[in-house]
Amino acid sequence: MPWTVDDPPAVARNWSAEEKRRCVAAANAVLEKTGDEEQAIFACIHAAGRSNGGRNMTQEEAKAEESERERLHKEQEERARRYGIAPKDGGHLTPPAGYPDDPDEYGDPVNYRYPIDAEHIRAAIVYFNQTEHRTQGGYTAEEWAIIGKRIASAASKLLDAEYEYRDGKVVRREAKTARILKSDEAILRIGGWGVVFGDTDLEGDEFTPETDFWLDKLPGPRPVLYEHALREPGLEVLGRTVKMEKRADGLWLEAELDRHNAYVRLIEELIRRGALGWSSGAVAHLVRRRQEENKSIIESWPIAEFSLTPTPAEPRTLGVQELHPLADACPELKSFFGEEKQIKSDKEEITMDESKIAEIVEEAVSHALEMKSVGVVVANETTESAVKGFDIWLRTGRKSSELKAALAEGAGNTGGYVVPPEYHRELVAALAEQSILRQAGARVIRVSTNQVYVARLDYGTAATIVSEAGSYPEAEPTFAQEAVTLYKFGRLAKASEELLADAMVDIWRDVLQPDFAQAFAAAENTYFTTGTGSGQPEGILTGGTLGKTAASATAITADEVIDLYYSLPHLYRQNAVWMMHDSTAKALRKLKDSTNQYLWQPGLQAGAPDTLLGRPVITNNAMPEIAASAKVIAFGDFRYFWIFESGDLTVQRLNELYAAAGQVGFRAFRRLGSVVMLPAAIVYLQMA
């Protein structure tokens, strides 16, 4: 808060009115520029003509000033002893204006540098990772590590990821997501962290470097399953591990999957998109735990199998009823347990509650599909005859009875055929990469009709305490029943007869699919952004809520961006994303806050999004550019923007229409609709 003549700095309270005026003007100017209260006080004294070692100050004033400085230095020395960081030249004795008051909310709490509260944590990571700041700040390697670990710890609590200090920088800790290491016609080699030290299972147990995984007691590979055989395809071994290695961060594993297995082919796309993680299954009656204050340390975790599960993956124990069929499928595991008699005697004690397992897995699957798949819908398994029949029909238009049986005819009188699920998945995956609203996290729902009724949430409040046998409040939340129409989108593509006859060209993947994906994505970007909802899908700018009106028709200020940020209810900010046109992003990149820091921060890693006030920025050139009355910036949680898809993609072959030009036409049809389900979750800035 700036000082005034009526409320000047303490050192100036007994000065004349003119001295107070000069003091306040100088102090406020320095405080606004540097945020350093100590420097502002010195400027105050100098401007009032009471500098030069206090020559013009009264003895009482000089003593008060000296006493205050001694107190601040003593507090800094105490913090230095506590945190292990020495006072630095240019460090702050007091918290800078506009930043946290608590020393624990700084990476360097001794000098009040690198604020790590929710508002500034991302910027702290950016500045800390510019390693020249270590030299400029005068830090030793030990001090730099202390600051880095404090920033990483705060980031892990405040951001949706785990961070660690490594090699002088704060970086994201590698997660348990499975990833492809090598692929050929027969083998898919995948790897990842099967167990992460410091990780916990569903009961809160913690793994440590001392945990015994029985790698030496039972050498050899472990089978790889899907979902611990709780779901389709059941107890089918997808592959086996080829490496299990204990490292500093956890248990690293690599496995080879059989690509001839139809199920492996289906889940390969999910692995490529990072939607599957590793989960270890251990023998329940051989697991040992040690209780500590607020946690349980796992001492023995005999791993019987590894499973690919929708992230976030969780470890779990296996009862005897699960181990027996597993051992039948993988005889090498029989050494895990002894005679049949002994196994039966333990069965009742170690049998898990299967309904609880199903509940846990269902929750994890739902979360993974919502958060990780980016709108990708996994279709039914594709038969080879369907793909072959469709390829032949694309090239020749021939519909023999054998091939026609493998294809699904399009509905209504449009003719054509439904694209096989494998090809449809490829198109949807391409759309997920090119459709901006899908990238932003929009929820994608497949329906079987051309119109659906949804209950749009108008508002809601917190749950209330209800007495035993008491009545429940009925007035909240409020829903508005609304019909969402799915509109027909079409695209026409042409291919020459020579191209169709060339057996080396993959007509679908090389010619049609890229064209259809680009065309449908462009349509989605337009209508999902600015669609009116009348005769076309509803876009985010139509269904969203006005958060801020700019004072100008041609420019945006930093304060207006901050106002827009806080116009979004805090419940939706933690997953919120900025969206704007390239030209608007260019203008916002130049905005600075009151401390002369840019609001816009570059991404930390290659491929990482830039951030504005700590939230990611997505450029969408379907957004209006800065102009009078234009809605130029959207900010919100786009999971509340729902996209509806009806049926599959249908393709019609036009044999005669372009025959004179030696071409064949292909028309593709699909139906789409959209709606903002919770208007309060998406706000926008409108120009004057």
Give the span between the Cα atoms of 42 and 297, in whole angstroms: 55
Beta-ladder partners of 631: 686
Which one, of 146, 151, 135, 247, lies nearest residue 191 by Cα? 247
Domains contained in the chain, CATH given:
80-172 (no CATH), 179-370 (no CATH), 384-458+481-538+643-679 (3.30.2400), 547-640+680-686 (3.30.2320)
CA angle, 195 then 199 then 202, to 5°: 100
- pLDDT tens string 109-141: 999 999 999 888 988 888 898 878 888 888 998
Cα-trace Rg, the chain: 32
Checking if the pLDDT of 634 tops 90, the result is yes
**% of the chain beyond a pLDDT of 70:** 73
The pTM score is 0.44
pLDDT score for 472: 53
Checking if the pLDDT of 306 tops 80, the result is yes
CA 400 from chain centre, in angstroms, equals 48
Checking if the pLDDT of 682 tops 90, the result is yes
Q: CB atoms < 10 A from the CB of 572, how many?
A: 19
pLDDT score for 366: 42
Checking if the pLDDT of 313 tops 50, the result is no
Average pLDDT over residues 217-229: 83
Checking if the pLDDT of 152 tops 80, the result is yes
pLDDT score for 579: 95
Average pLDDT over residues 213-218: 87
Give the span between the Cα atoms of 151 and 124, in whole angstroms: 7
- pLDDT tens string 481-511: 677 888 888 888 888 888 888 777 888 888 8
Q: Which residue has the higher pLDDT, 104 or 342?
A: 104
What band does 231 get if pLDDT is binned at 50, 70 and 90? low
- Which of 192-206, 343-357, 439-453, 506-520 is the least confident region? 343-357
Which distant-in-sequence residues (6+ apart) come within 8 Å of 112 by Cβ?
Answer: 91, 92, 93, 94, 95, 96, 99, 103, 106
Which string of b and e fits 438-477 if b means at least 16 CB within 10 Å?
bbbbbbbbeeeeeebebebbeeeeeeeeeeeeeeeeeeee
- Measure Cα distances from 86 to 80, 83, 93, 103, 662 in Å: 5, 9, 12, 14, 79
pLDDT score for 109: 93
Q: Tell me if residue 416 falls in helix, strand or coil.
A: coil
Checking if the pLDDT of 437 tops 80, the result is yes
- Which of 362-366, 439-443, 625-629 is the least confident region? 362-366
Name the range with the highest mean pLDDT among 358-372, 649-663, 667-681.
667-681
Checking if the pLDDT of 381 tops 50, the result is no
Give the span between the Cα atoms of 382 and 404, in whole angstroms: 15
Which one, of 460, 489, 633, 487, lies nearest residue 556 by Cα? 633
Average pLDDT over residues 540-569: 93
* CA dihedral angle for residue 361, residue 365, residue 368, residue 369, rounded to 10 degrees: -170
pLDDT score for 189: 92
- The overall average pLDDT reported for the chain is 76
Q: Which residue has the higher pLDDT, 401 or 501?
A: 501
Average pLDDT over residues 625-646: 92
